[in-house]
């Protein structure tokens, strides 16, 4: 039996965190051992790097390298060992987010990201990526309702987020077998049904 690696992607306010816990519950009910984790973060060092990444002004190069420093620890210390034990890993953001934010949003060349991926986790990609897509204005409204302080990314302007959304959609278009686009503008109920369908159809173990 081998575990599955599922990642959740999408712009801030799309509903990733909301659905991560729900999916973990569904899988546990079906007898799976599930690790829920997030990026940047997921390890003690990774969480410290997250704090820097979300709050400390820095250039895109440092931002990208710190993301991958955190991801390297996360992959080697937590994700890969769990998958080897046959567990499922559900991760709130992973490498596609770096293509979307640092690549699409900040304009960093894709080839640099490909090299870093190769170094950090080789050819292994998530088994399934759920991309929560929705109009920027809806995402913004949801974040505003939550009424909490905005991090360094959430404070970015609308055109940055349009590029991030676009880069995510391009990535889904380039990897249709792995990335499923979810219309995150639907009700929670509707999305849960859709996720159940996708997971059941993807299930091999
Ligand atoms: N489909 C939905 N319909 C209405 N509100 C939603 C939906 N999905 C998420 N929300 C709300 O939007 C806010 C942002 O969701 P969250 O899961 O934190 O997004 P993300 O983790 O992608 O930034 C939360 O307050 C959440 O309750
Ligand atoms: Mg979240």
Cα separation, 104 vs 25, whole angstroms:
33
Mutating to test ligand 1, I would choose from 134, 142, 150, 153 the residue with most ligand atoms within 8 A of its C-beta, which is 142
Cα separation, 30 vs 92, whole angstroms:
21
Q: For residue range 155-174, list pLDDT tens digits in order.
A: 999 999 999 999 999 999 99
Q: For 137, how many CA atoms within 13 A lie in the half-sphere containing its CB?
A: 0
pTM: 0.96
CATH class for the domain made up of 5-202: alpha beta
User: 193 CA to middle of ligand 1, Å?
Assistant: 16
Give me the residues paired with residue 34 across strands: 88
Mutating to test ligand 1, I would choose from 10, 15, 38, 185 the residue with most ligand atoms within 8 A of its C-beta, which is 15
Q: For residue range 86-136, list pLDDT tens digits in order.
A: 999 999 999 999 999 999 999 999 999 999 999 999 999 999 999 999 999
């Amino acid at each position: 039996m081998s575990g599955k690696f599922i990642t959740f992607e999408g712009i801030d306010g799309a509903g990733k965190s909301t659905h991560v816990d729900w999916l973990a519950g569904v899988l546990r009910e079906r007898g799976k051992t599930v690790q829920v984790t997030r990026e940047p973060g997921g390890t003690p060092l990774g969480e410290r790097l997250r704090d820097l990444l979300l709050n400390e002004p820095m250039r895109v190069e440092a931002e990208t390298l710190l993301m991958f420093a955190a991801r390297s620890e996360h992959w080697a210390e937590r994700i890969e060992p769990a998958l080897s034990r046959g567990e499922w890993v559900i991760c709130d953001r992973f490498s596609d987010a770096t293509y979307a934010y640092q690549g699409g949003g900040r304009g960093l060349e894709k080839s640099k990201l490909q090299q870093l991926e190769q170094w950090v986790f080789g050819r292994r990609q998530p088994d399934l990526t759920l991309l929560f897509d929705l109009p920027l204005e809806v995402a913004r409204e949801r974040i505003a309702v939550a009424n909490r302080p905005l991090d360094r990314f959430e404070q970015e302007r609308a055109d940055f987020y349009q590029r991030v959304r676009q880069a995510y959609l391009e990535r889904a278009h380039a990897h249709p077998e792995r990335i499923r686009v979810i219309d995150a503008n639907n009700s929670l109920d509707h999305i849960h049904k859709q996720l159940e369908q996708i997971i059941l159809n993807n299930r091999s173990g």
